Amino acid sequence: MSEKVLIYSPLPEERISELAEQFTVVTARQDSPEFREALSTATGLIGRGLEVDAQLLDQAPLLKVVSNISVGYDNLDITELTKRGILATNTPDVLTETTADAIFGLLIATARRIPELDKYVKEGHWDTRLHPSLFGVDVHGKKLGIIGLGKIGQAIARRGHFGFGMEILYHNRSRNPVAEKELGATYLEMDDLLQQADFVCLMAPQTPETVGMMSRREFELMKKSAIFINGSRGGLVNEDDLAAALKEGEILAAGLDVYVQEPIAKDHPFLDIPNLVTLPHIGSATAETRSNMEKMACRDLIAALKGETPEAVINEEVVANRV
């Protein structure tokens, strides 16, 4: 039987052709009847953002691999996929430096109030010397606290340490001796990091344990002069508590690239908070990086359907069981 690949989010024609040369290919939006029909005979799924859970997998009895075009995979029920012997892949590493660029850029933009002051100029308010009430804060020489010092977290830390002379503090599930040696990074318990850091950058993965990890208590522990940046997943933050912390002056400002629901609603309370910089989840959003992510996802999908081991397997137990 020919392998059937179901593409559920946009891919360039070059990638679609690459898959179509080897497999039967169906392209369908995940909310369409065509998607549900194709799912019943699909052996491979590729795209970004689809919630792959037991209910969906019950409709895909022939599925062998899910190729997620993202480094994050909280949309995949890995336990369920593993139980059914279905490979799951993602696209790590290829987006590390690009995402670190974006998140450090968000940090600078928030600290120096760049979006707010751009609007100030364009709306014609700049008619005299800038009033101190519109001043930002320095980035160089400050304490950068990173929660989740994985590959992207380390790339952000390198930018802060080598580029801006920042002192690196971090909290992680385990110590990172490489970062400690290279960057002089200091491991701290979560509460200590929150109390000491001038910038708190959240880069932890979303798991049942990390959902809502930044809430009222955590914001109250931070310095009133501190800035909070979230470049991980929106679900790690209690958004009501963050809005309250900003409005009540518990922290100085925040910059977000991720939200609980994306896109956020047009009446979301975040949109009325001047000391909050909001980006539309641009972490890996450059033409070069997105193209490389799509290439990697297709390579891994092809490898899996040919019985080979993909480059970026999330549930390696499935590979071990196939041998």
Q: Beta strand pairing status for 186-187 and 253-256?
A: unpaired
Q: Hey, which residues are catalytic here?
A: 233, 262, 281
Six-digit token string for 268: 């979301």
Six-digit token string for 230: 């979230």
Distance CA 282, CA 101 (A): 10
Return the pLDDT at 321.
81
- Say if residues 100 and 79 touch (Cβ distance below 8 Å): no
Compute the residue count for the chain. 323
Return the pLDDT at 320.
84
- Say if residues 185 and 213 touch (Cβ distance below 8 Å): no
Beta bridge partners of 277: 255
Return the pLDDT at 5.
98
Q: Widest CA span of the chain, in angstroms?
A: 73
- DSSP-based helix, strand, coil % in the chain, nearest 5: 40, 15, 45
Mean pLDDT per 10-residue interval, the chain, length 323 residues: 90 96 96 95 96 97 97 93 97 95 98 97 95 97 97 97 98 95 97 98 94 97 98 97 98 98 95 97 95 97 96 93 71
Amino acid (one-letter) located at 136 = G
Residues 6+ apart with CB under 8 A from 158: 100, 182, 183
Distance CA 69, CA 39 (A): 18
